[in-house]
Amino acid sequence: MTSNLRILLIAFTLITMAVACSRPDGPSLMSIDNDVSMASTSSSNDIQNEIEAYADIPDETIEETFERIQRTSSGHAAINSDKKIAQVFYSPDQSSATTNIISNPGPFEGTRILETTGRETEEFVEVILPVTPNNTSGWLIREDITIAESENLIIVDLSERKAALYVGADLIAEAPVAIGAPNTPTPALEAIIDAIWERSTSETKLPSLYGQRLFGLNKHSEVLSDFDGRRPALAIHGTDEPDLIGSAVSNGCIRMHNDDMAIFAEHVTLGTRVSIIG
């Protein structure tokens, strides 16, 4: 390979990474370290349990996905406001404390929200940690958190490039979306919204490519190991390139027209469930 060709390939790679998107990691994926101090994620203990319910996402339509999720319970845990950090445990046992902690608030200015797995004891609740790989789990002390459920649901159909918003049994809105490029595809998975950002009200300043609003997910790209040195967290967000909506162009994030994001934002709250299919 000639030196000129090498230079061209390097330049192309840098340009591709610059124009593609991934979620800012409260305040920004591009400038802030991981929200969770993970000093021992390589442990052979069960902190990296794969949650069976999320192992395989069925090949189904938006309507079929809605019916399936309506039959399941999906909760989330909010770290109590008086707790600035929450200790992570390998198992539901006080003697199994890890070196890992979760900060609160965050991401951005909101309360720290974590997806629950449905497994719990009198003293502990198992949660999905905001780290890679997806569905890495750990246990939190029940007294440190408040558990809730959300009736709000966003379903993103990658093949149709469309998002649908439900509140309870009601379809509230549908919108076209842009999805991940072929080399950085948006993964099919289940998630919750763990961060909400709005340009007009947030203290955090983000580049114009994110549009006016962003809904951060607690899951990540499954092909990128990092994004600008940070974890490759996913998001649904607005855009400053509306002509690209309907295309496969991002680094894994889901883009929507800013007007559609405003409609969704009227109903989306922390803990809102997200199902990406297709």
Active site residues: 237, 253
d(C-alpha 124, C-alpha 119), whole Å: 9
Pick from 208, 212, 204: nearest CA to 264: 212
Residue 2: partners with Cβ closer than 8 Å, 6 or more residues away? none
Structure tokens at 191: 């998630």
User: How far is Cα 29 from Cα 13, in angstroms, rounded to an integer?
Assistant: 19
Q: Which residue stretches of 20-174 are H helix?
A: 62-70
Contacts for 53 with CB less than 8 Å, ≥ 6 apart: 72, 117, 118, 190
